[in-house]
Structure 1
Amino acid sequence: MTDVTYTEATDPETRRQDGRHVPGWGADLDPADRPAYPKERTPPRLDNVHWQSPAAQRNRHGIVVLHSNERPGLTPIYGTSTPPRGLSGLLRRLAFRYSENDLRHWLVLLAADRVNVGEGLLDDLAHGHLPNLYREMGGPAEWRHNRTGLMKKALVAGMVAGVAVYLLRRRGR
C-alpha cells in the first residue's frame, strides 16, 4: 500500500470547494465574457419600461374577492373559466381570506377543487348525462403508458372496496 500525501492541489475537499477541476469553471469571471454584460445591472432596473397597463376587465362573476390579500387591487386581466359558485365557491372565498404563505390558503383551495369535481358530476347527472369516469380521468392513457401502475391502483381499490364490504356486512349482523 502506498502512502499518499495530500497537498492542497490533491485534497478532494479542497478540489470540491475550489471548482477548478470542473471543465469550463470560471468562464464567466471576466465581465466581458458574460453574454449580458453591457446591459447587466444588479439589481435590474425597470425605469425604462414603456408598457401601459391594459384596461381592466369587467367583473361579472364576483372575482374581486378571489385575489391575493398581499396585492393591492385585482390584476387587469384574469380568467373566468370556472367562476366561483356553490360550495366550492364558498371554499374559494374562505381560502382567499388567508395569506398565500399560510398553508390553510392552499389546502382550502385544494379542497375547493375536489368539491368542484363532485359538483360537476352532480351537475352532469342532473342534466341527464352519465359521465364516463374511466375515460374522463385518463384511464385509456394510463392503460397505454402505465399499465403496471394502473394494475396496482386497481388492486388497491379492489382491496379497499372488499374491506369496506366486509366491514359493512359484519356491522349489520
Structure 2
Amino acid sequence: MPYTSEKPGATPDPDELRARIPGWGSDLDPANRPAFPREQPDIVTGAHWDLPEQQPGGASRERSVEHERLTPVFGTAQPLHGVAGRIRRLAYDRYSEGQTAHWMLLILGDRVDAITAHVASLVSKRPDEPFTQSGVTGEVAHHPIASRFGRGRIDLKHSWLDPLLVVGPWVLAVFAVFKLGRAIMLPASKRHR
C-alpha cells in the first residue's frame, strides 16, 4: 500500500507482470526495440564526423552549469539584453537546471522583459492597447455566449480569471504610478501627518 509505514510486498515476477499488464517489458528484449539496430556500437551511420563542428561565436551564449560544453549548433537570433538578460545569465551561470532557482530566475527574466516591452511601447508611436489586444472585442463580435456553452470547452473553468490576468497588471501599474506621483507631489511635511 503506498504512503504507509508498512513494508511493500515482494517485487512481482516479470512473467506475472507480463500476464497482468498488456505490453509490460516489451522493450526488455533488444529484438523488440525498434531502435535496437541503431544502438549497436560499430554501426556505420554515414556521418563524416564523430562530433559536429562547433559553431563559432559561442563565448557569450548561455550554458547550464551541468553541461561541459555548449551544443555544437545554437541559436543567435535573440541574444540576451538588458536587465532581463542579466537575470537569465545569472540563472545559467549559478544554478543547475535541476534547481528551482534556475527556472524561477528564467520566469522572472521573462516577466521583466514583458514589463520593459510594455513600458517601451508607451513611449512609442503605437502603444499597447490592453483592451483590444486581449481579444475582448473579438469575443463580443463572435457569439460569446453561444460559443462558450454546450460545446464542451475546457477553458470555461478558468474564464472568470482571464480578465484579472489581462487587466490586473495594468490596474496595478496605474495604481503604482498614482502612488509614486502622489509621493513625489506631496511635500515632505504633509506626508508625515
Query: Fold-level match, TM-score > 0.5?
Result: yes
Q: Tell me the residue number matched to 1:5.
A: none
Q: Tell me the residue number matched to 2:16.
A: 18
Contact 1:88/1:115 (CA < 8 Å) preserved in 2? Answer: yes
Q: CA deviation at 1:68?
A: 1.3
Q: Tell me the residue number matched to 2:158.
A: 149
| 56, 79, 90: which one aligns with 2:86 | 90
CA distance in 1, matches of 2:164, 2:56: 49
Provide the aligned C-alpha RMSD in A.
4.3
CA distance in 2, matches of 1:148, 1:120: 30
| 76, 79, 88: which one aligns with 1:80 | 76
Gaps of 5+ in 2: 1-11, 148-152, 180-193
| 91, 105, 108: which one aligns with 2:105 | 108
Contact 1:88/1:116 (CA < 8 Å) preserved in 2? Answer: yes
Q: CA deviation at 1:88?
A: 0.2
Find out whether 1:70 has 2:70 as its counterpart.
Answer: no
Q: Tell me the residue number matched to 1:7.
A: none
CA distance in 2, matches of 1:51, 1:138: 51
CA offsets 1:29-79 (integer angstroms, 9 cap, x no match): 7765x25487275xx6477452531451435xx733x11122233223222
Question: 1:133/1:77 Cα in 2 relative to 1: closer, same or farther (>3 Å)?
Answer: farther
Q: CA deviation at 1:27?
A: 7.0
Code of the aligned partner of 2:70: L
CA distance in 2, matches of 1:78, 1:38: 29
Q: CA deviation at 1:108?
A: 0.6
Question: 1:92/1:46 Cα in 2 relative to 1: closer, same or farther (>3 Å)?
Answer: farther
CA distance in 1, matches of 2:29, 2:86: 56
Residue 78 of structure 2 aligns to a residue whose secondary structure is coil
Gaps of 5+ in 1: 1-13, 169-173
Residue 70 of structure 1 aligns to a residue whose secondary structure is coil
Q: TM-score, normalised by structure 1?
A: 0.56
Code of the aligned partner of 1:80: T
